[in-house]
Structures are given as C-alpha cells and as structure tokens.
Amino acid sequence: MTAGRVSALTFPEIFNLPVSVDMRTAAGALGVCLNTAYRWAAEGTFPCRVLRPGWRYLVPTAGLMRALEIESRPVQAVDLMAGSEYAARWDQEPLAQDLLGPEDFT
C-alpha cells in the first residue's frame, strides 16, 4: 500500500473479518490511511477500542463494526425478497383463524 492511498473494505469483506484485526485492516475499514489510524490510536481518539498485546495493535471487529454503525446481522436482498413473497401469500391465503369455526375456540 503506498502512502496516501486508502484501500477501503467492502461490506462483504467487513462481515468476513475475524474476531480482531490489525491496524491496517481497521484503517481500511474506516477509509483512512494507516498513519492516521496509528496517530488516532496514540492520541486515544481511535473510534473504537484498540488492544496492545506487546508491540502490535489489534482492533476488535465488533467495536469496529459499531464505530462504522454496521449492524452485526446484515439484511440480505434474498431475505427481503422472501419476506415480500411471504407477505404477498399472506394477503391472498385465508388465515388459520378464518378457516376455523367458532366452535373450535370453545
């Protein structure tokens, strides 16, 4: 990675991250250069918790996702389509309570 260039992560890449990531990956997720990320960590202004096991910097992915305001469970397009198909069927098919007579509730 050259200085000044930021390689931002895509949503699928972010959702496939391990439990914690290195500073380069966290910087990419935030869309900032690596030097800025290290400076924020040193100043204590990094948008989420930064761990220092020895000389390394590690960023917990859960905190990084919260900093990015990303929910832990993304809604997929296929889920939306399935939900809309279910709702359309629900409007067309009679409800179970409509199929039962009053004697079934006594």
pTM for this prediction: 0.58
- 33 and 74 in contact (C-beta within 8 Å)? no
CA distance linking residue 50 with residue 47, whole number of Å: 9
Read off the pLDDT of residues 64-89 as tens digits, 9 standing for 90 and up: 988 988 875 666 667 667 777 777 77
Q: Does residue 2 surpass a pLDDT of 90?
A: no
Mean pLDDT of 36-42: 96
Q: Does residue 1 surpass a pLDDT of 50?
A: no
CA distance linking residue 43 with residue 35, whole number of Å: 12
